[in-house]
Structure 1
Amino acid sequence: MAPTGSTTRATPRRGKLDLDPVTVRKARTLARQAGRPIVSLAKQHTTVSVERATLRLAGLSGADADGIPWVNRLLDAVRGDVGLEHGVSLPVWDALVRGEADDLSTLAQKAAAGSVRFRLPEGRDLTRAGAAARKQVGAGIKRVDGRRRERDRLVKRWGDPDHQPWIYLIVATGDIYEDIPQAQQAAREGADVIAVIRSTGQSLLDYVPEGATREGFAGTYATQENFRLMRAALDESSRELGRYVRLTNYASGLCMPEIAALAGLERLDMMLNDSMYGILFRDINPVRTFVDQRFSRQVHARAGIIINTGEDNYLTTADAVEAAHTVTVSQLLNEYFAKEAGLEDWQLGLGHAFEITPELPDSFRMELAHALLARELFPKAPLKWMPPTRHMTGDVFRGYMLDAFFNLAGVMTGQSILLVGMMTEAVVTPWLSDRDLALQNVRYVMNAAGNLHEDFVPAPDGFIVQRARQVVGESIELLERIVEHEGKHGLLEAIADGTFGLMKRPSDAGRGLDGVARKAPGYLNPASEILEEKS
């Protein structure tokens, strides 16, 4: 008992989980140590997609009669003559300065026909080619800057949603002209973010299709024209509804840098962009992926785009309880890679998911622990909370209930972006009526719960707090093993060992490896130069 006249003060808690700040700093330090060799590796290499993205920023678009983009045709011709090690910029603008063609489009057509040869310029020719390349690519990046300013003006004019989490809904029929009315109707029914998922398999195409597309498989092709059409349609909806409706697509796969550039040019607002998803779930070469993701994130940083990472995917192949720490480790790595590339906290839509087996006792308490841990580790980041998919059985009533628990967990733990779960997951591609019911579920929970996250404080040293601390401890153990792994690139070796998502992906194999080149002395990429200044 305290002496008479004196007062006792409890030590204030550090957030609802009372995480030890020294332990949290240690986790971030280890993530930085694990990530630095990967960044060095990325800086030392280029890829065909990085070079094609540079040509796209310079204004080259269109495709030949077979649908192969001119950026592919031009790059292939340059690579055939002088290789990729010096980049595409010097040979291309040297040819333009020499008068081989009046513009990039004509040069690409002549290159495809074999009527022009490329060289590595020297002396005064090198200086002139470099200046011309910097001027034209720089103009393209200024267009990206202009689209970012345009977004800022429109958000100021129409406003943001007056609630959180933002409601994120997927729309993708395969036909962009069918997607548009569905997206607009979804916005009227309360969706704040519209995601147009890509056609199955597009991530494995080493080119970006051209034009508006009307056929896709479980999604719609990501093309510049499809981006333009949907952004224009959602601007109409934003004007109608008096709030800015955001547009999401996917900057992943073999064309990650190019799609990022097109997203910046067409004012997309969010892009799925994970540092390891393509490696683990699409068997894309790890070096190719890390090089491409760094460049793409530099573009996203410049364009003011929010990235969404893919940690939820780990829990579709690994157990959500046993592998919870791999999600946290990936979030920490994604944070490091993103900030190193110039992204700010408000652009880090780090992913996590509601995927614990429902039959497990205390599963909801454990979901709350994981969700609250992500929220407190990354307090300034717009976290993206993903609904249950792995344990959807086709029982739509059970599925609807699971989604309601997911929505409640999101509200209770202060998530920022909530992807709407579908009761018909694992049954059919959702109908409009399915989306309407799903949105009703979200609206009911958000309205009924209100600001419940303000009142939800787990018991000190209770089940939720202890579980969160356990996950942090396991995350640090895994990061220590990665950092101490034999060899210079511990993260690459951990990926090869199947540490994440139980997928074993060696760094000397996988799709797209032949599209990677180590930079030679004298390498030039004006886009990288400009973006590097930002990051």
Structure 2
Amino acid sequence: MLDLDPTLAAAARARAAQVCAPVIELATTHTTDSVERATLRLAGLSGADGDGVPWVNHLVAAVRADAGLADGVCLPVWHALLRSGVDGLRELTEKAIAGSVRFAVPEGAARDQAAAAARSAVGRGIALLDARRAERERLIAEVGDAPAKPWIYLIVATGDIEEDIPQAQAAARAGADVIAVIRSTGQSLLDYVPEGATREGFAGTYATQENFRLMRAALDETSRELGRYVRLTNYASGLCMPEIAALAGMERLDMMLNDSMYGILFRDINPVRTFVDQRFSRQIHARAGIIINTGEDNYLTTADAVDAAHTVTVSQLINECLAKEAGLADWQLGLGHAFEIDPAVPDSFRLELAHALLARTLFPDAPLKWMPPTRHMDGDVFRGYLLDGFFNLAGALTGQGILLVGMMTEAVVTPWLSDRDLALRNVRYVMNAAAGLREDFAPPPDGFIATRARTVLGEALRLLEEIERRDDGLLGAIADGTFGLMRRPADGGRGRDGVTVRGPGYYNPAIEILEEA
């Protein structure tokens, strides 16, 4: 750990809270199509029509057309259920598509009855989140946990879930503690969640409930075989962030990529929609006992890792503030950062250590997610293997919690199984040889590493002060390209038409139950 000035760190957190306050206000005064669809999924509505359009999409669209979403989807839906005698949400949706059911916001006693019925149905979904969380805890107690941190995190994603499963099991047998199934390219821009097991995907596999179920079951089998619980990760981001979070909780995933600004910056999703969706998704993650992974590493693929180091710290502080407001605990905050400084820069490794130690010191109880070099991998696999070794050593020296395995074939090909095996050998060698070095690694208070860390924290504090002084706050800073050099105006981006201002009668039993806890 570094000997940082505690008043400086406290000031940075206080500024971050001020910067986040208007965003939290936005998130608590708006809803989105995906928040309402996720609520219906918690109430048990699943499946899709013959064209693959999910029933939740149909039902929310019907309510929006008849009654609007200012009061939420639940009151009109359960009012219609109670007065029509329809047998369940699926049949109600089919009748709504056929035009034989219309929706209206109930009042008086009818409103109370609809709210009670909706709360009961959604409560069963949240009880399922609780049950799956308890199931995880029982399985860890039964088979044992990963022996020590950092947890070794490996990506598996062929596009074909049936091929992903044996590769994931092989990776776990080779030493991976966390298996991440990266999503098919472009899924974050789909305003629906695909249904069923999928066997086609580009540079990744579709995130679906059935794919989640299949992979979780396979890794449970491997966990019992290996005598240690193997964790499963996917991505709760994009236009369906809350829905994917709900499905992940119901299928007992353990980690989810879930950043407050990634979708805005790198997928051009409307900022308001993203901030509303991330709050609800994080409330679900908090209840389900899921660790989130944030995406600060992405900034350093578009901005310089030295010049923009303070923006990573600012984003980590923002992600921490928004996550805790949504109910996540420190042990669930897999805040992201990366080993992305150009190796040609003098003292590049010392700079990497300074940045990594700054994050470790600022967030001592968070399982930080340490990302390997990608931007400066140039196709020379021998150089790449060496860079990954330095990355692994930095992770050992600075006590990172989740270490993503770097591939020497990064930027050349999609890694083969043999590439993954070599990469895991690199990790194992460094951790076996140097994991205990953290006890002996104490940079002098006035040395290069400590001085650099203080400089970055000071720059982060100044940036937070600048954002706080702006009339347009964080949304304006995002529009100006402050993070990752991406300019995203608050009134632009995909999914803007799926945002609704909550009315005074808005009711969402999922939010009510989650906030009661």
Displacement of 1:450? 2.9
Residue deviations 1:53-84 (CA, integer Å, cap 9, x gap): 00000000000010000000111111111111
**Are the equivalent residues in 2 in contact too, given 1:250–1:272 (CA < 8 A)?**
yes
Q: Which residue in the other structure is 2:260 paired with? A: 275
Do structure 1's residue 156 and structure 2's residue 132 form an aligned pair?
A: no
Seq. identity, %: 77
Work out whether 1:529 is the aligned partner of 2:512: yes
- Structure whose CA Rg is larger: 1
Residue 397 of structure 2 contacts residue 435 of structure 2 at CA under 8 Å; is this kept in 1? Answer: no
Aligned to 2:97: 112
Q: Which amino acid aligns with 1:434?
A: D
Tell me how far 1:99 sits from its aligned partner.
2.2
1:64-213 alignment runs, 5 A limit: 64-213=49-198
Paired residues of 1:100 and 1:116 also in contact (CA < 8 A): no
How many angstroms apart in 1 are the aligned matches of 2:325 and 2:109?
35
Counterpart of 2:20?
Answer: 35
Work out whether 1:437 is the aligned partner of 2:422: yes
1:494 aligns with 2:474: no
SS state at 2:84 partner: coil
TM-score by length of 1: 0.96
Structure 1 stretches (4+) deviating beyond 2 angstroms?
none
| Alpha-carbon distance between aligned partners in 2 of 1:505 and 1:237, rounded to the nearest angstrom | 43
- Secondary structure of the residue aligned to 1:451 is helix
Paired amino acid for 1:295: F
Alignment of 1:98-497 (within 5 A): 98-487=83-472, 490-497=473-480
Q: Does 1:515 align with 2:498?
A: yes
Give the letter aligned to residue 424 of structure 2: L
- Is it true that 1:54 corresponds to 2:27 in the alignment? no
SS of structure 2 residue aligned to 1:450: helix
Gaps of 5+ in 2: none
Shift of 1:460: 2.2
- Please say if residues 100 and 107 of structure 1, whose CA atoms lie closer than 8 Å, have aligned partners that are also in contact: no
Residue of 489, 492, 515 corresponding to 1:506:
489
- Give unpaired runs (5+ residues) of structure 1: 1-15
Other structure's SS at 2:153 match: strand
8 A contact 2:255–2:291 mirrored in 1: yes
Deviations 1:179-208 (Å, cap 9, x if unpaired)? Answer: 000000000000000000000000000000
Q: In 2, Cα distance between the equivalents of 1:106 and 1:148? A: 31
- Cα displacement (A) at 1:459: 1.9
Distance 1:303 1:249 in 2: 14
> For residues 97 and 241 of structure 2, what CA distance do their matches in structure 1 show?
24
For residues 344 and 465 of structure 1, what CA distance do their matches in structure 2 show?
28
Residue identity opposite 2:331 in structure 1: W
Q: Secondary structure at the match of 2:15?
A: helix
- State the superposition RMSD in angstroms: 0.7
Give the whole-Å Cα distance in 2 for the aligned partners of 1:123 and 1:450. Answer: 64
Indicate the residue corresponding to 1:8 in structure 2: none
Matched position secondary structure for 1:427? coil
Secondary structure of 1:248's counterpart equals: strand
Partners of 1:233 and 1:304 in 2: CA distance: 20
SS of the residue corresponding to residue 168 of structure 1 reads strand
Aligned AA for 2:512? E
Shift in Å, 1:100: 4.8
Shift of 1:521: 1.3
Say how many residue pairs are matched. 517
